[in-house]
Amino acid sequence: MVCVMAGNSTTAPLSLLAPIERIPTQPHAANEDFKDDGALRDIPEYAELHCLSDFSFLRGAASAAKLFARAKHCGYDALAITDECSLAGIVRAWEAAQSSGLKLIVGSEFTLVCGLKCVLLVESLAGYTRLCELITRARRAADKGFYRLDRSQVAQTLAGIAPAASGLFALWIPSETPDPEEARWLQKHFGERAYLTVELHREQDDAVRLQELLDMADAVQMTVLASGDVHMDVRRRRALQDTLTAIRHNLPLSQSGHYLFRNGERHLRSRQALGNIYPARLLANTVHVAQRCHFSLDQLRYQHPSELVPEGYTPTTWLAELTRRGMAKRWPHGVPAAIETQIDEELTLIAELGYEAFFLTVEDIVRFARERNILCQGRGSAANSAVCFALGAR
């Protein structure tokens, strides 16, 4: 399987030259929840920027509704839904965000052919368009259920676009042995919108891993932030997540140990738990990125793809011409005045709504089928459209 990528922030990212706090040493349990409002005010704000829902098939173990309810309970500023090379669950996520009152950030996780892993987060409508294009490229390049995206495809999608105008943020998720070349490649295409992501899950080497990634961030001059690689809303969902993993690898659960997570830390942890694990600066940086992501699905409007028309015509004039030709065939002895008035009104309304391309597409498909004696049906009679009737599309 293969993947995609995202970027780094452009306006005043927190400098890596300033001292970064090391792992806190207070003897609190990582999963300790807040006991009072005063404690909440003492913990840095946080936005989860790497979270899979159950639309990452056989990986995510919680629905968007459960994830947003938990994130709201934990006092998060925002929650990104970043299903792997997919936006299939983003409408459910938007509904959950509306119900909970918590901000949704749209994104997606990718693993490139070369092994580079990253999360792309959408800042703007332009970024959403590019993310959709990358997902489409990746899915079309592989069999159903898989995806394949290499660096050249990402470069093609971003060609001619300045990093600041990409509308995307890229969160680099380093491998077990971080490769600085991956960071430099992301910086080439996303500039300061490329971030290094630290994901700690209460394992034995967390302190070493954190220091290693902080040193790497200093070396490549990349802003660093925290994320959770979230696969479930609460810890008790781990049994389900383990089962999904076993199914994904076509193994009995008893033989899947190598593929299972070592613990249940990939859930939406309380801010206090996160504060016990990460330096405060890494948590604060998640909020800075979240605040810059202003895209919402509310901004989307249906736009039918443009349709090819003969030279000298626009979609409006070509639809009118085809309608007139059809009227001559449908009413060879003359068009009744009432019908002619209705057609004129329909054409005016179609132009006002910008639906010409849709009518031209339907007409083209129906004509193609009928010329080849392929059984087909255009618009149903319930449409009661004189234009459709004239075009032969019903």
**pLDDT computed for residue 27 by the predictor:** 35
Say if residues 137 and 153 touch (Cβ distance below 8 Å).
yes
Task: Kindly report, residue by residue over 10-61, the tens digit of the pLDDT.
Answer: 333 433 333 333 434 333 444 545 444 555 557 889 999 999 999 999 999 9
CA 34 to chain CA centroid, nearest Å: 31
**pLDDT computed for residue 33 by the predictor:** 52
Axis crossing angle, helix 180-190 with helix 151-158, rounded to the nearest 10:
20
pTM over the 0.95 mark? no
Region of poorest pLDDT, from 171-180, 192-201, 377-386: 377-386
Say if residues 179 and 216 touch (Cβ distance below 8 Å).
no
CATH number of the structural domain 37-299 = 3.20.20.140
Q: Where are the domains of the chain?
A: 37-299, 315-391
The percentage of the chain sitting over the pLDDT mark of 70, rounded to a whole number, equals 88
What mean pLDDT comes out for the span 309-316? 94
DSSP-derived pairing of the beta strands 168-172 and 194-198: parallel
Residue 172's pLDDT band, with cuts at 50, 70 and 90, is very high
Instruction: Kindly tell me if the per-residue pLDDT of 177 is higher than 70.
Output: yes
The string over 308-323, giving b where at least 16 C-beta atoms fall within 10 Å of a residue's C-beta and e elsewhere, is ebeeeeebeebbbebb
Using the Cα atoms of residue 300, residue 302, residue 308 and residue 311 in order, give the sign of their dihedral: negative
**pLDDT computed for residue 306 by the predictor:** 81
**pLDDT computed for residue 31 by the predictor:** 52
What mean pLDDT comes out for the span 328-350? 95
User: CA angle, 366 as apex, 362 and 369 as ends, to 5°?
Assistant: 145
Residue 335's pLDDT band, with cuts at 50, 70 and 90, is very high
**pLDDT computed for residue 43 by the predictor:** 81
Instruction: Kindly tell me if the per-residue pLDDT of 161 is higher than 70.
Output: yes
Instruction: Kindly tell me if the per-residue pLDDT of 8 is higher than 60.
Output: no
Residues near 185 by beta carbon (within 8 Å), at least 6 away in sequence: 116, 151
Task: Kindly report, residue by residue over 284-305, the tens digit of the pLDDT.
Answer: 999 999 999 999 999 998 777 8
What mean pLDDT comes out for the span 369-384? 77
Using the Cα atoms of residue 269, residue 272, residue 278 and residue 283 in order, give the sign of their dihedral: positive
Task: Kindly report, residue by residue over 240-288, the tens digit of the pLDDT.
Answer: 999 999 999 999 999 999 999 999 999 999 999 999 999 999 999 999 9
Edge-first strand listing for the sheet containing 78-81: 47-48, 78-81, 103-111, 117-122, 168-172, 194-198, 223-226
The string over 341-351, giving b where at least 16 C-beta atoms fall within 10 Å of a residue's C-beta and e elsewhere, is ebbeebbeebb
What mean pLDDT comes out for the span 161-177? 97
